[in-house]
Chains A and B, each alone.
Chain A
Amino acid sequence: MIKRTGVGTLGCFIALTSFVTAAQSKTAVKPAAEDTRGFNEFSTKVQQYVKLHRRAESAVPKLRHTASPALIAAHQQALAEKIREARKNARLGDIFTPDAALAFRHATDREFQGAHGKNARATIQQGEPLKNVHLRVNQTYPQTLPYTSVPPTLLLKFPKLPDEVAYRIVDHDLILLDVKANLVVDVLPKALP
């Protein structure tokens, strides 16, 4: 009797484990078409942003390589100000639209649950991750904040970006940063585990 109950419990456990594993893998692998649509939408929004960036850049004096950090900082601030003016109504999710956000979340889930997950986590830990810091759209990336390494295997899964912008990780948030203006373009909150 006891033996039969044990086998029954074990059977239930195996069935439950299989179900959970199947459910997890179902969550991890979403239909590619859905993600492609989200990423395409994101890339279109990025291109629109880059056009705006280039217009703003053409309106400020050209940056020359100089031994004066003050001049570089002044250029950066002037560019950021022009972009802020042009995007004064910018909101969270303008670039990471709902569809794009879903595609990014699927990509990060797959990466962190996949074969490289351990390495990707280690990369973030190794790069002195920021804790309890949350940046806002149109905010300057604070000079004193270090950069958390973005796992390179994760970058392979994300849409490629033009030179003007880059992905950054701040706490668990994924940031789209304007690298020339040092300005937060958009934030995808809690994108990373």
Chain B
Amino acid sequence: MKCRVLILAMLLAVLAPLQHAGQFRFPIQHDSVRFAVIGDMGTGKRPQYQTAEEMVRARQSFPFQFVITLGDNIYGGHSSRDFERKFELPYKPLLDAGVKFYASLGNHDGPIERSYKLFGMKGANYYAFTKGNVRFLALDSNYMDPKQLSWLRSQLQDAPKSDWKICFFHHPLYSSAKKHGPATDLRLLLQPLFEQYKVNVVFSGHEHVYERVKPQGGIYYFIEGASGQLRYGNLKKNSSIMAKGFDTDNSFMLVEITGDTMYFQTISRAGETVDSGTIQRSGPLLH
């Protein structure tokens, strides 16, 4: 009897996340903002290609319009062949379908990437763009100089109060991974700005894992640095800031924002949902 109960409990424990994953559905509203998030992907190796194939499959049921990248877009050499092997070929079906990419720069990215048209950076190492009711700010966390900080402040100040504000950059301000840890110096300067101007969500990479951090100062932080690279088992299991982590396979994120709600789903290279949920933007966004 005891054995049966134990087996049942084990079965339930295994099935519960899958059941939850099965329950998750994007609303796919006609006027929503839908995008994918990838980071640390540009290796040109098999896991990157397999993760990209899974993104293509996911797009059949969730037609995302564009992709944001969290840096380390091209590892190693930056020749034409490198761009082809580490970007153009793995994401060819997406590029052919008209999916735009918006890149941010990681520590392995060369200055050549700024002018590469398919990365949407238009020659700048930091830039902003708007999609629907979402203001995106791509930052260069390799080099957060006073000029970039002042630009960021003015961008956040001038963004319509009704807009979501999403920042994305390479080095995470919070992290439960063992390899690098959080960029605390960067956090000293960015977190107060993010809080003052009500940034809603921040995406980073650098750590080759997926992590959803518990909200810090009302801001949701995600790490998605495993879309090509993977640092297996690198998350501290007992981290007090981690809401959800995944470090046993490559992954990417899908996001939909409609009105005051953001829906997100994190999918592994094998096509399994490893995290999902909704974020409700609450309260008036007063500066």
Chain A residues in contact with chain B, CB under 8 A? 63-70, 72-73, 76, 116, 119-120, 122-123, 126-128, 143-144, 146-153, 155-156, 160-161, 166-167, 179-180, 182
Contacts and interface: CB of A to CB of B under 8 A. Distances in A.
Nearest to A158: B145
A127 B206 CA distance: 9
A63 B122 CA distance: 11
B62 to A, nearest CB: 26
Contacts of B146: 155-156, 160
B107 A128 contact: yes
Task: Give 9 closest A-B pairs by Cβ, nearest first.
Answer: A152-B144, A119-B185, A123-B185, A146-B107, A67-B117, A119-B184, A69-B83, A70-B80, A126-B180
Given A72-B112, A149-B171, A182-B110, A127 B144 contact: no
Given A73-B79, A123-B183, A149-B143, 10 more contacts: A69-B83, A76-B111, A116-B188, A126-B183, A143-B78, A153-B189, A160-B147, A166-B145, A167-B143, A182-B111
Contacts of A155: 143-146
Nearest to A75: B115
B145 A161 contact: yes
B181 interface: yes
Contacts of B206: 126
Interface of B: 76-80, 82-83, 107-112, 115-118, 122-123, 141-147, 149, 171, 180-186, 188-189, 206
Given A72-B115, A122-B185, A127 B107 contact: yes
Contacts of B185: 116, 119-120, 122-123, 151-153
A179 B142 CA distance: 13
A80 to B, nearest CB: 11
B171 A143 contact: no
Given A120-B185, A127-B142, A160-B147, A65 B107 contact: no
Contacts, number: 112
Nearest to A120: B185
A29 B184 CA distance: 25
Contacts of B115: 63-66, 72
Given A63-B115, A72-B116, A144-B77, A122 B184 contact: yes
A118 to B, nearest CB: 8
B83 A149 contact: no
Contact of B110 (A128, A143, A148): A143
B189 A73 contact: no
Contact of B145 (A67, A116, A128, A152): A152
A69 B78 contact: yes
A123 B143 contact: no
A127 B117 CA distance: 27
Nearest to B118: A67
A171 to B, nearest CB: 15
Contact of A69 (B80, B141, B181): B80
A116 B189 CA distance: 11
Given A146-B108, A166-B143, A68 B118 contact: no
29 contacts: A65-B115, A65-B117, A65-B122, A65-B123, A66-B116, A67-B117, A67-B118, A69-B79, A69-B116, A70-B79, A72-B112, A76-B111, A76-B112, A119-B184, A122-B185, A126-B171, A127-B180, A128-B107, A143-B78, A143-B110, A147-B108, A152-B144, A152-B149, A153-B189, A160-B145, A161-B145, A179-B111, A182-B110, A182-B111
B181 A73 contact: no
Nearest to B144: A152
Contact of A147 (B78, B82, B107): B107
A119 B173 CA distance: 12
A162 to B, nearest CB: 10
Given A73-B79, A148-B107, A152-B145, A123 B184 contact: yes
Nearest to B125: A179
Nearest to B87: A69
B284 to A, nearest CB: 31
A102 B149 CA distance: 27
B145 A143 contact: no
A146 B39 CA distance: 16
Nearest to B110: A143
Nearest to A63: B115
